[in-house]
A and B are shown apart, each in its own frame.
Chain A
Amino acid sequence: MGLKSSRRRAMRRAVTGYLFLSPAIVFYLIFLIIPVGMSIYISFKKWNMLVPLSSSKFIGWKNYQDLFKDEMFLYALKNTLIWALGTVFLGMLIALGIALLILKVRRASLWRFLVFAPVVTPLVAVARIWQDGIYKTSGGMLNSILTLMHLPPQHWLANDQIALFSIMAVAIWAGVGSTVIIFTAGLKGIPEEYYQAAKIDGANAWHEFFHVTLPLLRPTILFLAVTGLIGAWQAFDLVFQMGAGGTQSGVSSLKSIILLNVYLYQTAFQNLRMGRATAGAFILFLIVLCFTFVVLKILRQGGVESYE
C-alpha cells in the first residue's frame, strides 16, 4: 500500500516536471531539433527556397565539395580565424589590464560604466561612430592624429590590407566591457590570504601576478575563451554594418572583411543557395566544436580547477 502510493507520488511528480518543462521541450523540438535535422537534409540538396523542399534535387556531397572550391568561402574561413583569435585573446588581454587597473581605484562603478556603455549600445550605432567619426578618411579622428604626427592618412575601412583589423579594433572596443566585469568578479573571488602568503614569501607584484592571480583566474579565462570563441566565429553585425553588407552604390565589398556568417548570409539570402549555406553552417559547427575542445584541453590540464 505504502509502496504503491509512493510510486504514484513519484509518477505524479515526474508528470509535473515534464509539464513545467514542456514549453521549452516543444520549443526546442520546433526551433532546434527538427530544423537541425532538416538542415542536414538541405545540405545535400540544391534548393532555393522558392520551390517546395521535397521537389528540389539531391546532389550528395556536392555542396560541401563546392564550398572548398569557392574562393570566397576560403577567404571567409581565413578571415574568421584571424577575427576569432584576435578579438577574443587580444580582447581578454586588454580587459584583464583594465580590470586590474580599476579594481582598487576610487569610484570603480563609474569606470565600469564607462567601459560598459558600448556593450549596451546597438552595434549599428557603434558602426556609425567609428565609420563616420573615427575612421573617416578625410577629417576623421585617427587620420587627424596621423596628420599631426606627419604620417600619411589611411583608408581604414577601404584598404584590403587593414580593413579587417580596423573592424576588429571596434569589436574589441565594443565588447571589452563585459569581459572586464567578468574578470573583475574573478579577481574579487581570489581570497586575500593567497596574496598575503605570497608577500610573506617575498613575492613582488610580478611574481604575484604570474603565480597567484593568473593561475587562480584559470576558470574565468576558460569560460571567457570558450564563450568568446563561440560568439566570435559567428560575428556578423559589425562587419556587415561597416562594409561587408555593401554600400549604398551597390559596390561589392572588400574580400578581407567577409566573415563566415556574412558569407552564409549572402549565400542563403542573396544568392538563394540554401544547400550550400547549410553545408557551410555545419563546417562552422565543426570548427566551433574543435576550438571548444582544444581550449578546454589546453586550459584544463593541470593547475587550479577551482578555489572554492
Chain B
Amino acid sequence: MNKTEILKYLLLILIAAAMFLPFFWLVSASLQKYEEIISIPLTWIPSIPQWSNYLEVLTNSNVKLGLYFKNSFIVSTMITVLVLLTSSLAGYALAKLTFPGRDFFFNFILSTMMFPTFIFLIPVYYILRKFPLLGGNNLFGQGGSGALTSYAGLVLPFMVSAWGIFLMRQFMMNIPDDFLDAARIDGAGEFRIFTVIIAPLVKPAFVTLAIFQFISNWNAFLWPLIVTTSAQYLMTLPVGLRMMVTAYSTSTVQNRLFAATVLGIIPTIIVFLALQRHYVKGITLSGIK
C-alpha cells in the first residue's frame, strides 16, 4: 500500500464515521436513561438498554404517535397513488400522442419546477378553504371550512408532480411506436393501449416514482405545518415530532423524544432499503435530459 492508498482509506473511514455515528448516537440515546443523556461526556452505549422508552412513547395517551403515523401513512399513500395516475396519463399524452400545443404544455410543466412555493402557497390555502362542496361548503365555497379540515387539504395540492410527468414521459419515449401502431391497426383505443401495453412496460418507472413520492411526502413539513396548525387531528409525523420537540426537549423525558424520532425514521429507511436500486435510478434519471 502506498501513501495515496492509505490516505484514501483514511478519508473513506472518516466519511463513514461522519455519516454513520450521528445515527448510531440517536438510536443509542433513545435507549438511554435521562441521566445518561445529560451526562458529560456523551454516553455512546447505554448501560442497560431502556426499551421502556419505546413502550412509553407508544402507549402514553398524551403522545399521539399512532395518530401521526396513521395520518402520514394515509396522506403519503393517497398522494403517491394520485401522482402515479396523473403522471402516467400526462406522460403518455406528451410522449406518444400528437396534438396542438403539446410542446407548449411540456415546457410549461417543466418550468413550474422553478416557481417558489410561496408564489402560490397563500392563494392555494385560501382556495382550499373556499373549495366547493367540501367541509360543509356549498357550491360557491361558502359556509364551511372547505378542504382544510380533511385529508383533502393535505393531498389535493400535491396530486400532480411536474417531476413525475417528466419521468413518465422520458420512460414512455423509449417504447417503440411500432408497438402502439400495431395495436391501433387492430382497433384498440388509446385508453386500452395505455392500460394494456404502456402501463406494464413502464412498471420500473412506476416503482421509482412511487418510492420517491412516498418518501418525500412522508418527510414533508412546510405545508402540513401550515394546514394542521388549525386542524391538529390531521398532524403528520414530522409536524407531530416537531410538537413533541417543543414540549419535551428540555424535560426529563427527552429520551422518549429520541425513541419517537427513531420510530419516525424507520418507515422511510425500510422503503429505501427494500427498493434502493429503483430510488437511485430515479435520482440518476432526473440528472439526465
Interface positions of A (Cβ within 8 A of B): 10, 13-18, 20-21, 23-25, 27-28, 30-32, 34-36, 38-39, 42, 49, 53, 98, 101-102, 105, 109, 111-118, 120-125, 128-130, 132-134, 138-141, 144, 173, 178, 181-182, 185-186, 219-220, 223-224, 227, 230, 233-234, 236-237, 240-241, 245, 247-248, 261, 264-265, 268-269, 274, 277-278, 280-282, 284-285, 288-289, 292
Contact = CB atoms under 8 A, between A and B. Distances in A.
B12 A120 contact: no
Nearest to B17: A114
A16 B190 CA distance: 7
B284 interface: yes
A137 to B, nearest CB: 10
Contacts of A38: 123, 126-127
Interface residues of B, number: 94
A173 B14 CA distance: 13
Contact of A122 (B11, B125, B265): B265
B118 A24 contact: no
Contacts of A20: 89-90, 92-93, 97, 190, 194
A287 B23 CA distance: 36
Contact of A32 (B98, B102, B120, B222): B120
A264 B15 CA distance: 36
A281 B116 contact: yes
B234 interface: no
B59 interface: no
Contacts of A233: 116
Interface in B244-289: 245-247, 249-250, 254, 257-258, 261-262, 264-265, 268-269, 271-273, 276, 279-280, 283-284, 286-289
A117 B42 contact: no
A286 B126 CA distance: 24
A102 B12 contact: yes
Contacts of A27: 86, 159-160
B140 interface: no
Contact of B112 (A28, A223, A268, A284): A28
Chain B, interface SS category: helix
Contacts of B218: 122
Contact of B287 (A21, A120, A223, A285): A223
A156 B220 CA distance: 26
B80 to A, nearest CB: 15
B55 interface: no
A116 B282 CA distance: 14
Interface in B1-25: 8, 11-12, 15-16, 18-23, 25
B19 A117 contact: yes
Nearest to A186: B287
Contacts of B247: 248
Given A17-B93, A36-B115, A122-B218, 14 more contacts: A20-B89, A23-B85, A24-B109, A28-B109, A34-B123, A38-B123, A120-B272, A125-B26, A129-B26, A181-B283, A182-B284, A237-B221, A261-B118, A264-B118
Contacts of B237: 122
Contacts of A247: 246, 249
A129 B25 CA distance: 8
A21 B26 contact: no
B222 A265 contact: yes
Interface in B136-165: 156-157, 159-160, 165
B269 A236 contact: no
A122 B99 CA distance: 41
Given A13-B99, A36-B119, A101-B11, A139 B265 contact: no
A132 to B, nearest CB: 7
Contacts of B238: 122-124, 237
B118 A280 contact: yes
Contact of A39 (B26, B40, B105, B119): B119
A112 B41 CA distance: 31
Given A133-B29, A236-B222, A261-B118, A23 B86 contact: yes
A281 B122 CA distance: 10
A194 to B, nearest CB: 18
Given A101-B11, A269-B226, A118 B19 contact: yes
Contact of A139 (B18, B40, B114, B221): B40
Contact of A133 (B42, B124, B125): B42
B232 interface: no
Contacts of A53: 126
A129 B113 contact: no
Q: Nearest 3 CB-CB pairs, A to B?
A: A17-B99, A35-B123, A35-B120
Nearest to B229: A269
A230 B110 CA distance: 13
A39 B261 contact: no
7 contacts: A39-B120, A53-B126, A124-B238, A125-B264, A128-B245, A139-B42, A240-B221
A130 B264 CA distance: 16
Nearest to B23: A117
B219 interface: yes
Interface in B186-237: 190, 194, 215, 218-219, 221-222, 226, 229, 237
B38 interface: yes
A139 B41 contact: yes
B98 to A, nearest CB: 6
Interface in B46-91: 85-86, 89-90
